[in-house]
Amino acid sequence: MAATRAYLDYNASAPLIAEARSAMVAALDAANPSSVHSEGRAARRLIEDARRDVARLVNAKPEHVVFTSGATEAASTLLTPDWQMGRGDVRMSHLYVCEADHPCVLGGGRFAAAQVTRIGVDRNGIADLDALTKALAAHDRADGLPLVAIHAANNETGVIQPIGRIAEIVKAARGVLVVDAVQAAGRIPIDMSAGYADYLILSSHKIGGPKGVGAIIAHADLMMPKPLINGGGQEKGHRAGTENLPGIAGFGAAARAALAGLDAMEAVAQCRDEIEAIVRELAPDAEIFGAAAPRLANTTFFAIPGLKAETAQIAFDLAGVALSAGSACSSGKVGPSHVLKAMGYGDSLGALRVSTGHTTGAGEIEAFRAALAAIAARRAGKEQAA
Please identify every residue annotated as catalytic.
329
Site string for ligand PLP, 353-372 (x = CB under 6 A): --------------------
> DSSP letters of 349-378?
---EEEE--TT--HHHHHHHHHHHHHHHHH
Residues 3-42 touching ligand PLP, rule: CB under 6 A, are none
Looking at the Cβ atoms of 96 and 367, the one nearer to ligand PLP is 96
139 binds ligand PLP (CB under 6 A): no
Distance, CA of 152 to CA of 165 (rounded, Å):
12
Residues 192-251 touching ligand PLP, rule: CB under 6 A, are 203, 214
Looking at the Cβ atoms of 214 and 320, the one nearer to ligand PLP is 214
Helix count (H) and strand count (E) of the chain? 11, 15
Taking phi first (over 0 means left), then psi (-120 to 50 degrees means alpha), and beta for anything else, what does residue 344 get?
left
Least separation in angstroms between residue 182's CB and ligand PLP is: 4
Which of 44, 64, 139, 151: binder of ligand PLP (CB under 6 A)?
151
Least separation in angstroms between residue 153's CB and ligand PLP is: 7
The kind and range of the H/E element at 338 are helix 338-342
158 binds ligand PLP (CB under 6 A): no
Which of 9, 180, 198, 243: binder of ligand PLP (CB under 6 A)?
180
Looking at the Cβ atoms of 6 and 159, the one nearer to ligand PLP is 159
Q: Choose one: 53-61, 69-77, 87-95, 236-244; the region binding ligand PLP (CB under 6 A).
A: 69-77
> DSSP letters of 112-180?
-GGGEEEE-B-TTS-B-HHHHHHHHHT--TTS-EEEEEEESB-TTT-BBP-HHHHHHHHHHTT-EEEEE
| Count of residues of this chain found to bind ligand PLP when the rule CB under 6 A is applied | 13
The kind and range of the H/E element at 92 are strand 88-98
Looking at the Cβ atoms of 185 and 218, the one nearer to ligand PLP is 185
Distance, CA of 40 to CA of 32 (rounded, Å):
5
182 binds ligand PLP (CB under 6 A): yes
70 binds ligand PLP (CB under 6 A): yes
Burial group, residue 195, by CB count within 10 angstroms (0-12, 13-18, 19+): middle
Least separation in angstroms between residue 333's CB and ligand PLP is: 13
- 3-state class (DSSP) for residue 291: coil
CB 232 within 8 A of CB 239: no
Q: Choose one: 31-39, 119-127, 179-187, 364-372; the region binding ligand PLP (CB under 6 A).
A: 179-187
Site string for ligand PLP, 266-305 (x = CB under 6 A): ----------------------------------------
338 binds ligand PLP (CB under 6 A): no
327 binds ligand PLP (CB under 6 A): no
Length of the chain: 386
Looking at the Cβ atoms of 72 and 244, the one nearer to ligand PLP is 72
Other beta carbons less than 10 A from residue 260's beta carbon:
12
Which of 54, 71, 98, 185: binder of ligand PLP (CB under 6 A)?
71
104 binds ligand PLP (CB under 6 A): yes
CB 329 within 8 A of CB 10: no
Looking at the Cβ atoms of 9 and 364, the one nearer to ligand PLP is 9
CB 183 within 8 A of CB 163: no
Distance, CA of 242 to CA of 196 (rounded, Å):
30
Ranges of H-type helices in 199-337? 245-261, 265-282, 309-318
Q: Choose one: 32-40, 49-57, 67-75, 130-138; the region binding ligand PLP (CB under 6 A).
A: 67-75
Partners of 303 in beta bridges: 287
Least separation in angstroms between residue 209's CB and ligand PLP is: 10
CB 82 within 8 A of CB 131: no
155 binds ligand PLP (CB under 6 A): yes
Q: Could you list the residues that contact ligand PLP (CB under 6 A)? A: 70-72, 102, 104, 151, 155, 180, 182-183, 203, 214, 329
